Structure 1
Amino acid sequence: MRFFYENKGLSILAEYNDRLAFGAHLHNHIELVYMIDGRVKVLVDSLEYVASTGDAIIVFPNQIHQYQKIGRENCFLSIFPRDLCPEFQNIFKYKLPISPVIKNASDNKRILPLIDSIVETHKKKPAYYDNLIKGYFLSLLGELFQEVQFKETKSSDGDTIKAVLNFCSENYTQNIKLETIAQALHISRSYISHLFCEKLHMGFSEYVGTLRISDACKLLASQDMSITEVSYAVGFNSTRSFNRLFLKYTGMTPREYRRKGKQNKS
């Protein structure tokens, strides 16, 4: 997964996952996580929560969110367009969850069978896939929304932060600095720095680092590029800096990450 402003079109992600995203990002899709086992810290629109085994997390379109590792993570992760469930459009458009974490979602015994059906259907793509996947997601959201309290949406400086994140996503492989963004978007350097600290709880350089490491994870998992080639492709000037930052964010070296990915596929 890439950690920035994402426009995912009509794609659907539905999988079991043991590594959640670690950097701040936002996109125009619904993001749903169910914690099968473990704990994770989640920050949504600058507020911090903890989700544990049996909890669910739901993030609405264009909410800035990130996950921070606490311990092991074994979860269901899905990212899907709001258009998949037009029956809930008024909720997605005009409301937000008061808390993104739905505690003890596992108490509802219909949740896990629906998740299993979504993953299996998405993987096998049977006949009438579109109808089946929509039906399962409608049912899952209907069950979860019974436990969610909503509030009306309010305008904020979200457009500015989206513009900043989008600029970063398009240029993070280059040697970008705060001054680069300030000049390109005609926003003061100090205000951009303030947005990163207030909305993302990290500095600009740290955020760019998460973008690069995120992209590196994808390349290590899907390409035959050498580790040195990957480090330069995502914007690092030296493999030493790349290895150090990769270890900091993922808890393993690039080589270990690639090896683990191959083991999971086998």
Structure 2
Amino acid sequence: MLIYEAHHFDYISNYHTLDLNFPSHLHRGFELLFLVDGEMEVIISQKSYHVNTGQFLLILPYEIHSFITKSHSQAKICIFSPDYVPTFQKMIENSSLEHPVFTLSVEANTLISRKLFKDNSNLLEQKACLYLILSELMNQTSLMKGEKQDPELLHKLLTYIHDHFTESISLRSIAGTLGYSYNYLSKYFNTHISMSFVDFLNETRVNYACYLLTHTEKNMTEIAFLCGYESVRSFNRNFVKIKLCTPKKYREKHPQSFIDLYPFKKEINH
């Protein structure tokens, strides 16, 4: 399962979480996590990192990541646009962090606790805090160079799917719309998403189906077509493949789910 959070693009957002569990997702922004209490496992690009109380972790733009809390965790999360830290963004181009878990000095921690992870804070103070955090991070890790990437293409591609997954779309039609060859886009998608376009499209549609199942009283036929499937049979087959249960069973077992955090932009008529 992979979710693209297109809304994390050009601003800064703060979250306070308790016992956070969230499936694989990615977005354009940096994601800074501070573990206030407990412990958490964070999977970044198929690598597992253990975060303990008092530690920070930084996730780079477009890195696929997920959060797992086995017992208890209380965390603060700040997601911010690369445009907030252009100097650092240029430094990490086509790179990843050797070890994204780090700690702050006492002086930095005191400042950060007062200025960051709060809404309506002074923007200049927030940017200053971010650069201070990044400076301390780079004193504790190093960069690993990777293949040259085109992150803006990834954003355009995933945003297009996010906006049109309820329609009859294919990677070939998207390639024509975006002005790329089908073969190039197919290879690019498999390399950066680590799954096929068809699998990603079906997971996006099924995630939306989960949202409709837990937030509306629409029947299965309505939901199937609202999610972009041309038949109920195809909808049921893909739903069972991904969720390991029928849509009906999912509705019975999940009056609410993690999908509440996924901001679908589709119109729902109750």
- 1, 24, 28: which is aligned to 1:22? 24
Amino acid of the residue matched to residue 58 of structure 1? L
Amino acid of the residue matched to residue 11 of structure 2? L
- 63, 76, 89: which is aligned to 1:92? 89
In the alignment, structure 1 residue 259 sits paired with structure 2 residue 256: yes
Moved more, 161-170 or 128-137: 128-137
Q: What do residues 45-96 of structure 1 show as CA deviations (whole Å, max 9, x unaligned)?
A: xxx42111336442334xx321257774945432112454xxx431223434
For residues 31 and 129 of structure 1, do their structure 2 counterparts lie closer, same or farther at Cα, with a shift above 3 Å needed? same
**Equivalent residue number for residue 60 of structure 2:** 60
Following superposition of structure 1 onto structure 2, how do residues 94-173 of structure 1 map, counting pairs within 5 Å? 94-96=91-93, 98-99=96-97, 101-103=99-101, 105=102, 114=112, 118-119=116-117, 121-122=118-119, 130=123, 133-134=126-127, 136-150=129-143, 155-173=148-166
Following superposition of structure 1 onto structure 2, how do residues 109-258 of structure 1 map, counting pairs within 5 Å? 114=112, 118-119=116-117, 121-122=118-119, 130=123, 133-134=126-127, 136-150=129-143, 155-215=148-208, 223-224=215-216, 226=218, 228=220, 232-236=225-229, 237-238=231-232, 240-241=236-237, 243-244=239-240, 247=243, 253=250, 256-258=253-255
Following superposition of structure 1 onto structure 2, how do residues 19-58 of structure 1 map, counting pairs within 5 Å? 19-23=21-25, 25-27=26-28, 29-34=29-34, 36-43=38-45, 48-54=46-52, 56-58=56-58
Query: Which structure has the greater CA radius of gyration?
Result: 2
- Other structure's SS at 2:24 match: coil
CA contact (8 A) 2:23 2:67 kept: no
Q: Which runs of 5+ in 2 are unaligned?
A: 259-270
- Other structure's SS at 2:64 match: strand
1:201 deviates by 0.9
For residues 101 and 215 of structure 1, do their structure 2 counterparts lie closer, same or farther at Cα, with a shift above 3 Å needed? farther
Q: What do residues 116-157 of structure 1 show as CA deviations (whole Å, max 9, x unaligned)?
A: 9744x33xx5xx555665565455444433323246898544
1:205 deviates by 1.2
- Other structure's SS at 1:65 match: coil
**Equivalent residue number for residue 10 of structure 2:** 9
1:198 deviates by 1.7
Distance in 1, Cα, partners of 2:254 & 2:115: 29
Distance in 2, Cα, partners of 1:244 & 1:16: 30
- Other structure's SS at 2:180 match: coil
Aligned length: 242
CA contact (8 A) 1:31 1:80 kept: yes
1:173 deviates by 1.5
Amino acid of the residue matched to residue 51 of structure 1? Y
Q: Give the structure-2-normalised TM-score.
A: 0.65
Q: Give the structure-1-normalised TM-score.
A: 0.65
CA contact (8 A) 1:59 1:100 kept: no
- Other structure's SS at 1:91 match: helix
1:204 deviates by 0.6
Q: Which runs of 5+ in 1 are unaligned?
A: 262-266
- Other structure's SS at 1:147 match: coil
Distance in 2, Cα, partners of 1:113 & 1:16: 21
For residues 91 and 131 of structure 1, do their structure 2 counterparts lie closer, same or farther at Cα, with a shift above 3 Å needed? closer
Distance in 1, Cα, partners of 2:170 & 2:191: 18
Provide the alpha-carbon RMSD of the alignment. 4.3
Q: What do residues 15-46 of structure 1 show as CA deviations (whole Å, max 9, x unaligned)?
A: 326133414x341x222234652323211xxx
